[in-house]
Amino acid sequence: MEQATRVGNRLLAALPPADFALLAPHLRKVELRHDAVLVRSGDRIEHLSFPCSGAIALIMELPNGQTAATAVIGNDGAVGLLTALGPTRSPMTAVVRVAGTALQISPARFHAALERSAALATTVQIFTRALMTQVQHVAACNALHSVEARLARWLLHIHDRMEGCGDVLPLTQETLSELLGVRRTTVTHVVSALRASRALKSNRRGQLEIDRRRLEVVACECYKVMSRRIDRIVSQDAVRLLHAAPARNGCPPPPEFPFAKTDS
């Protein structure tokens, strides 16, 4: 699919060319630097980010300072898409945990396109369903499964979003603590257990080398169930549905990749 190759984000790539053309002139390609905060909990959402590579964690912050991840977003999703429901403040903090790139657009530009595109409205629905599926599975998994199984699940989800980047994940103990909602001392014990099972080959400072096959054995069933359900939502069936959506704009497809250069 030519547009998917050029765009990089699965949600945007699924749009019919005429609908994508409503967004294309206003999309800006930016770098997602490791540990960069895209939006903080309680802040107004200044831009929507559609990742093309990398991984972004959605973090819930409690009044006592504790934090826990509720979802990980890669090139199958977006950050800030809740603004499609109207002006809102972010309920969570979005932090880049694996560096990459994204396409950004202002809420005003996105809303203007949304009013003219039934396919774009369907895209918002698809992402909302996928995100809710992930959040619900994470909540159930946190309540029912061991810390080792949960860490294996998170590592597999992040690895899925690092296509072609090998088996070394750039994750610190602080990040793992945040993903699991546990103290760093607990992370140390869990990482040691995964090394003993050889699901982790090494854990150099800020890097984890995984053995994916063994990691899948350690992970709870949530990983495969969640992955199947999310992939079914953001699937070729959804793509066909988007292409069948009635066009309301009559715009021609963009002649070439129209985005600005990556911000430095």
* Spatial CA neighbour of 167 closest among 134, 216, 131, 226: 216
User: What are the residue ranges in the chain where pLDDT is below 70?
Assistant: 1-6, 87, 164-165, 234-264
Q: Note whether residue 75 is domain-resident.
A: yes
Measured distance CA(88)–CA(139) in Å, rounded: 24
Check if the beta carbon of residue 141 is closer than 8 Å to that of residue 153: yes
Q: Does residue 70 belong to any structural domain of this protein? A: yes
Domain carrying residue 46:
1-118
Q: Which pLDDT tens digit goes with each residue over 7-37?
A: 889 889 888 889 999 999 999 999 999 999 9
DSSP letters along 189-232, please? HHHHHHHHTTSEEE--TT-EEE-HHHHHHHS-THHHHHHHHHHH
Query: Rounded to a whole number, what is the largest CA-CA distance in the chain?
Result: 59
What is the model's pLDDT at position 236? Answer: 54
d(CA 43, CA 193): 39
**pLDDT of the residue at 222:** 86
> Total structural domains in the chain?
1
pLDDT at 167: 87
For residue 83, the model assigns a pLDDT of 80
Residue at 106 is within a domain: yes
Tell me whether residue 6 is in a domain.
Answer: yes
Instruction: Report if residue 32 sits inside a domain.
Output: yes
CATH number at residue 3: 2.60.120.10
According to DSSP, the residues that pair with 105 across neighbouring strands are 48
Q: Are 222 and 140 in contact (CB under 8 A)?
A: yes
Query: Could you tell me if residue 140 is inside a domain?
Result: no
Query: Is 144 part of a structural domain of the chain?
Result: no
Residue 200: inside a domain, yes or no?
A: no
Question: Can you give the pLDDT at residue 57?
Answer: 94
CA distance 191 to 209: 11
The Cα-based distances of 12 to 3, 17, 92, 123 in angstroms read 9, 10, 23, 8
User: Of 5, 9, 3, whose CA–CA distance to 29 is shortest?
Assistant: 9
